[in-house]
Amino acid sequence: MRFWKAVGDAAYGLLWATALIGPLAKLWQPAKKLLVWRRQLGIWSAIFATFHALLILDGWAEWSVARFLGHEFVPQLGRLARMEPGFGLSNILGLSALLVALVLAATSSDRALRALSPRGWKFLHNGAYFVFYVASIHSLYFLFIHYTLSFHKRIPEPDWFRFWMLALVGVVVTAQVASFVKTVQNFRSEATSRA
């Protein structure tokens, strides 16, 4: 479990950097040098996320859709029962983020940029923020909700990283809001100077 969590954390760290570079480049001129790294960081994030998903599907869910969605066979009941509220939804969110990340990784090339047109490619690749926020919700579920009294085993100690994770999400949200405000202010000042 620690190994697939570490791989997921690596995927998320790369995704975080990918999501932060765009707004940071609008806010701070020297950060524009980092824009060339977004494509590679996003591709590596998708690769690590794929590996994370495969480790979970093979090592924990054992390729069972029911287990992936949080259902276990309970001998006392003689049937499958949902064991962890929210677990299946969190896994569906993680899988959704992965599927979009794979589409983005597959179209992260100059050839795809030419085929889709710059405007179409940019529209598609704004989906990186969807991936970031959905992956954040997936991760936050496991950091804050999953291992509670509803967990039918010994509850582990709270993850030391959970508040750092909130801070990482907060940094991207803050950078995006500040970038949006700066973009609107620049537009208004340009419109005023033209008038």
Quick: pLDDT tens for 116-129. Answer: 999 999 999 999 99
Residue 79 has pLDDT above 90, yes or no: no
Give me the percent of the chain exceeding a pLDDT of 70: 97
- All structural domains of the chain with their residue ranges: 2-194
Phi, psi of 72 (to 5 degrees): -130, 150
pLDDT in tens, 171-183: 999 999 999 999 9
Residue 153 has a pLDDT of 67
Q: What is the mean pLDDT of residues 69-82?
A: 83
Position 100, amino acid? V
Residue 84 has a pLDDT of 74
Position 91, amino acid? N
Residue 152 has a pLDDT of 61
Residue 195 has a pLDDT of 72
Position 54, amino acid? L
Position 164, amino acid? W
Residue 149 has a pLDDT of 59
pLDDT higher at 159 or 179: 179
Confidence of residue 157 (pLDDT cuts 50, 70, 90): confident
Residue 57 has pLDDT above 70, yes or no: yes
Q: What is the mean pLDDT of residues 85-105?
A: 95
Residue 77 has a pLDDT of 81
In this prediction the pTM is: 0.90
Residue 82 has a pLDDT of 77
Nearest-angstrom CA–CA distance, 117 and 107: 12
pLDDT in tens, 5-31: 999 999 999 999 999 999 999 999 999
Residue 102, Ramachandran bin (φ over 0: left; ψ between -120 and 50: alpha; else beta): alpha
Residues in CB range of 35: below 8 A, 6 or more apart: 21, 22, 25
